[in-house]
Every structure is written in C-alpha cells, then in structure tokens.
Amino acid sequence: MHRSESAGSLPDDGPPGLPEGTHLEGIQLPEHGHGPLLRRRYRVDVLGATLSAQELMAQIAGDLNTVVPWGLAHFERLRGDEGAVAVGDEFSVRMPGPWDGPVRVIERTPSSWRFATLDDHLEAGQIEWRASDRDGLLRFEVESWSRPGDRLSHLLHHHLRMAKEVQLHMWISVLERVTRMTGGRMRDGVAIRTRVAG
C-alpha cells in the first residue's frame, strides 16, 4: 500500500461538473459540506487480466456487492430497476455504525459510473468508479471529491479519523476483490492519493 497526502487547490482538485440534465433534488454538493475539500483516489494496476476494462465494469455493474466486503459495506438499491447500474439509480451504502450513505448515479459510460452523494450521506460530493486498459495493464480506480457532510462527520473524519480509516479499509478490500475478479495480479500494490484543498 502506497499512501500520500498533499496540499491541493481549487478549482484544480474540485469535482467534475454535473452532467447536463442532472436531477439536483437531494444532492449534497461539496459547498453544502464542512471543512476542506478532499480529493481521494484509490488505484490498482492489474497484470495479466483476463477481462477488458469494459468487461470488468459490466460485471461489477450487474451487482456492486460482488466487490464490496460484506463486513464493511453493502449496496442496497433504493430506486431504479434491478440489473446493471444506470443513471438515476439510487443506493444506500450500508456500513457499520452511523455511516450509511445514500447516493445517486449521475453518469454512466461503458467503463465508468459516477455517484453524487445525497442528503444524510457522511460526505457531500461525488464518487467515481472507473477502469481503463493501459499498455498491457488494466487500471481500476475509485476517485472522490467531497467535504464532510456535516460538523459531526468533519469531527469523525479529521479529528478522530474514524470515518477515514473505515473508508480506507473498505476501498482497499474493493480493489483486492476487483483484482481477483480480473484473474490477474496487482502490480505495485494499492496506491492511495489524497489532496486537501480549500
């Protein structure tokens, strides 16, 4: 595991713009949160993958829980048809303790999807899952742009650091499970980069 944290800046480390036509009701934008904006990226490069980036994401999209550790999190669909992830779907990410977080899918491509956090989520911002084929490697990443959703979340994340560690273990487990799903092996472990802006 390779971790780094550095100073960021706005707007360079801010979230992507919302897609045209995004339904804004209930969305927690970063400006609704508290404390600094955090841009986090969890990344793994896989050697010898038997799936392409699009094939991998199609498999995960059919059931997000195939790569989520049950002891740490579980996606429960609140809105949308059963089956693959689609724009407008809403999920609650169930986690131990007061961590449950509702999200809405605001963008979907063959190799990625992006969530916006909704009211009562621990964070205010966006989260993207994506994969790409790169020079014989398959790269899988989870990237987020968010502020703590309220003052309590800010305290738990930045001062007591509880939420940060729960998230860290969850995303590392996701990347390990994704790697196994590809049939390949990690190159250089998991890379975690955090930039703190604002």
Q: Is the pTM of this model over 0.75?
A: yes
What CATH architecture is 30-197?
Answer: 2-Layer Sandwich (3.30)
In the prediction, which pLDDT does 159 show? 47
pLDDT at position 71 is: 73
CA-to-CA separations, 140 to 21, 42, 64, in angstroms, rounded: 27, 8, 14
Q: What local confidence, expressed as pLDDT, does residue 114 receive?
A: 98
**Domain map (residue ranges) of the chain:** 30-197
Cα 120 to Cα 65, 100, 136, 153: the distances in Å are 21, 8, 41, 10
Residues 6+ apart with CB under 8 A from 113: 57, 61, 85, 105, 107, 128, 129, 130
pLDDT computed for residue 73 by the predictor: 83
User: Looking at the chain, which runs of residues are DSSP E strands?
Assistant: 2-7, 37-47, 74-79, 90-94, 101-109, 112-117, 123-134, 137-148, 185-197
Per residue of the chain (198 residues), what is the pLDDT tens digit?
Answer: 788 999 999 999 999 999 999 989 999 999 988 888 999 999 999 999 999 999 999 999 999 999 998 777 889 999 999 989 999 999 998 876 656 789 999 999 999 999 999 998 888 999 999 999 999 999 999 999 998 855 555 455 554 455 556 677 788 999 999 999 999 999 989 999 999 997
Residues in the chain: 198
Task: Report how far residue 58's alpha carbon sits from residue 156's, in angstroms, rounded to the nearest whole number.
Answer: 35
The pLDDT, as a whole number, for residue 70 is 78
